[in-house]
Amino acid sequence: MIFELPQIKKKFQFNRFALITGSLIPDLIDKALMFLSISSGRGYSHTLLFSVVSSLFVFLITKRSKAISISYFIGTLLHLLLDLPDVPLLFPFIPYDFTYIEDPFGFWLYKLLHDPFTYITEISGLIILIFVIIINKLFSFNKITVYLLKNSKKEIKIENQYEDKLTS
């Protein structure tokens, strides 16, 4: 939400899609590994090493785009910060005891219904999402796509020209 502040938007270039992708990728990887009984749900992709290596990979595949790779990196770091203290930040440099969950879905459901911190953070995330949608008037799939792919002032001007052509 901090990236929606006008002072931040004017001063820094960032890619919303990369930021969101970076914030989701640790869970997409580790939760999939958890369902395969390979990880604990907060494992290998919840480390600083993963954040750095995957950000370098994004930097290389995006033809050295700093805006995209830094946005992705910030997304992964924010995810790790929000998951503290239950993440193996310095693994493999410091040993970490991965606990495996036999019934991941049941565990999630139990945490969601019985842990105040879990449901407060889920409701807070939903409120922030609704706020961003309303403030930016993202009431169509096309507007959401353009919003996510915005990266710089130049692209915003191109987007406005594109929207003007669509409406005329």
Extract the tokens encoding 139.
């009431």
Locate the domains of the chain by residue range.
1-101
Extract the tokens encoding 73.
């990196």
Q: Going residue by residue through the chain (168 aa), what tens digit of pLDDT does each one get?
A: 566 566 666 666 777 788 888 988 998 888 888 888 777 777 888 899 999 999 999 999 888 888 889 989 999 998 888 887 778 888 888 887 777 777 878 877 887 888 887 778 778 878 877 887 888 788 888 887 777 766 544 444 544 555 555 565
Would you say how long the chain is, in residues?
Answer: 168
Neighbours of 97 (CB within 10 A): 6
| pTM (whole model) above 0.85 | no
Question: Residue 152: its pLDDT value, please?
Answer: 45
Closest by Cα among 24, 42, 49 to 99: 42
